[in-house]
Structure 1
């Protein structure tokens, strides 16, 4: 309240002094005793009262509106020149873009001059009479400077009338610059909150997508194992009646297969060595079923055994080669499994000399579809699956993954 009284008193006093100087100057021009002196004296007194009432009404109007807009009456709120320091939790470039957009949306913004290199924004804002709604010639101006502060930005905001500072002794802005400063701060705060919500939504979407991908990977993997286990146990049951030693050998291979199958994380990632042992046990079971019609060769360098590799994929390709390539072929054939590193890519190939890319051998079944889908979910564009014809007959299926150097090589 003291600030409001002081502001009102200051305006009345300054205008009174200016008017007094004007009256004295006129009085000196009209000498005493000359015609019109008393007329000038009376007119000066009446003009003084009129001026005092006008200035008092303007000052009271300014004070009441600032209290309405700001909710308080202090020197800071009553001032026509407003200053704000806003901390923005983004790097300086992003903070500048946010501030620039907030100022351009400010009501009445006419001229906006922004310089991204110097991180400054200047704007001219049309001042509207808060009571008559008529556009006035007087304008306010806004200056914002963004200062880099590590990973954040600090914005210095200045809102003031478009006139020299000394005129504040005579004129008021009816709280328009306070409104502009608060509006810009609100706009910046809202945009920061919207960006934070967007980041949180993105994180939630990423987590949800990862959980969905893991669930889909587990589902795709579960579609393969029960089928194989059912067939193996059914064959072992038949062999127990006709060839118990062979049934015992098949069950031993199944135990070996399960030993390498059960210790597996929920993300479906194993190692190349574990997958080779699993595939070897699987093929040994199939060799009992097919006898001399199946020959296998597995060649993977020992240094690649620790490399991460999706579970069940090599076995799926081997199963597909037998089902679509060798079982339909009279006399059976061979399966080769080998791995190689070229540049930054690890390639694992399962090849056969069976029926080739004819009929169902093209891989339209669930096995190869699962391989493609699991690679897409787990690696995106970083992995690929290639199915080509083998020479002179058969199919070669190759999985390409990003190669990860062993820990010892990475620190060498």
Structure 2
């Protein structure tokens, strides 16, 4: 019924127009004997042309959409599209979709006003032959696309208009062969595809970030559970010897080993530790080495008691201390000093572990896995708000500094500061 009404409307309009022309011609051609027959042929030809044109339009619309109604048969198409991105991103998506449309030319976009206007060259679906143009389609004349993006909170509302570049009154006589319907649907599909790609990219980034975090947590658990065999064996061997010569120092060494092992047990979650707890672990480790290395190892700790409650990722301080011993002081014949210094400057906690050992140019350096792990964990925990630097210490050795946002939301840990 809708198809019949559309064909009848187009045919009726052409009939009225041709009859008006016939009446005008009849008044000016009364002296010609055969003028009546010519006028009848003119009216009948116009009616046939209109009927064929409308029928061809209906068949093409049905081919494009699979259904025929007043909306799909119209030569002027309007769409309202909701895009789940803010207006600026929505504008970029729409602008790219229009520029990629077949036949798009003279695309004028204004990002400040969130508007896009473009001319779309008509592309004949069947080669643009004479018979196709004779069926009433607009032929080589252009269509146009007008888009306005309206901000809607965190989303963008898109008003899309696809229409011929001619007056609206011509819709009573001319059809577009479904060209603007095709353009509107193509832009809608392009927007949907780009939104889906953006969503997939976001999901992939989220999965990658979660995977990296899980991997880092797994590495941290291994780091917690790992006690180097040679460190444990050497400590127990030293304690065994001291039990015969100096039982008091043997008892002190075993107490430090117990404290170190207790603080090195894997945590059940990846919650932040505190500077006080991490300092307690590091001191237990260093006190063991002081007993073993004797005067070759000296410690200087400068951490104010009020900073003990500052949140800090676990095992980071321990990693820096172990690096200072293994790669800085143990290879050095005369040993040296390890400094642990904490300062708060402009809301940033700077924790430095320095030594006067062999330095960055010394032989026997490690693989760097521990330092890479520190950087990666800082990135996952704080993003760009944290940093890690390692530089040469003057006159010798290395200074490594972790900088994180300072917070006062944990109780201080009773760690005794001393110089050995």
Which has the higher relative contact order, 1 or 2, with Cα contacts under 8 A spaced 6 or more apart? 2
Offset, 1:293: 5.5
2:218 match: 215
- Mean CA deviation greater in 263-272 or 103-112: 263-272
Distance 1:14 1:222, change over 3 A: same
1:132 and 1:350 map into 2 onto residues whose CA distance is 77
What is the 5 A alignment of 1:372-387? 372-380=371-379, 382-387=386-391
Q: Which residue of 2 aligns with 1:5?
A: 4
Specify the SS of the correspondent of 1:128. Answer: coil
Q: CA deviation at 1:316?
A: 4.8
Larger Rg computed on CA atoms: 1
Q: For structure 1, which runs of at least 5 residues remain unmatched after alignment?
A: none
Q: Deviations over 1:386-405 (max 9, x none)?
A: 344456xx646342312413
* Pairwise CA distance, 1:115: 1.4
Moved over 6 A (4+): none
CA distance in 1: counterparts of 2:317 and 2:42, whole angstroms: 102
Partner of 1:397: helix, strand, or coil?
A: strand
1:184–1:47 distance in 2 versus 1, CA, 3 Å:
same
Other-structure match for 1:397: 399
Q: Which residue, 146, 149, 153 being the options, matches 2:149?
A: 146
Residues 14 and 169, structure 1, Cα contact 8 Å, conserved in 2: yes
The Cα offsets for residues 298-342 of structure 1, whole Å up to 9 and x where unpaired, read as 332111101233434444555555555378545x66554332223
- 2:48 aligned to which of 32, 53, 62: 53
1:3 positional shift: 1.7
C-alpha separation between the residues in 1 aligned to 2:196 and 2:63?
A: 27
2: CA distance, partners of 1:239 / 1:364: 31
Structure 1 CA distance for aligned equivalents of residues 364 and 312 of structure 2: 21
- State the alpha-carbon separation in 1 of the partners of residues 208 and 352 from structure 2: 35
What corresponds to 1:406 in structure 2? 408
Match of 1:76 in 2: 71
Q: CA deviation at 1:292?
A: 5.6
Question: How far apart are 1:155 and its partner, in Å?
Answer: 0.7
- Identify which range, 132-141 or 199-208, moves more after superposition: 132-141
Partner of 1:357: 358
Contact 2:109 2:115 in 1 (8 A): yes
User: What residue in structure 2 maps to residue 21 of structure 1?
Assistant: 20
CA 1:275/1:11 → structure 2, altered by over 3 Å: closer, same or farther?
A: closer
How far apart are 1:143 and its partner, in Å?
0.8
Instruction: Report how far residue 85 of structure 1 moved.
Output: 0.5
What are the Cα deviations for residues 245-290 of structure 1, in whole angstroms up to 9, with x where unaligned? 5433322222223333337465495321112222332233233334
* Structure 1 residues 263 and 219, CA gap change in structure 2 (3 angstroms): closer
Partner Cα distance (1:268, 1:370) in 2:
22
| CA-atom RMSD in angstroms | 3.0
Partner Cα separation in structure 1 for residue 355 and residue 107 of structure 2 = 71
How far apart in 2 are the matches of 1:241 and 1:328?
Answer: 29
Which residue number corresponds to residue 96 of structure 2? 101
Deviation at 1:123, TM superposition (A): 1.2
Q: Which residue of 2 aligns with 1:325?
A: 329
The total of aligned residue pairs comes to 396
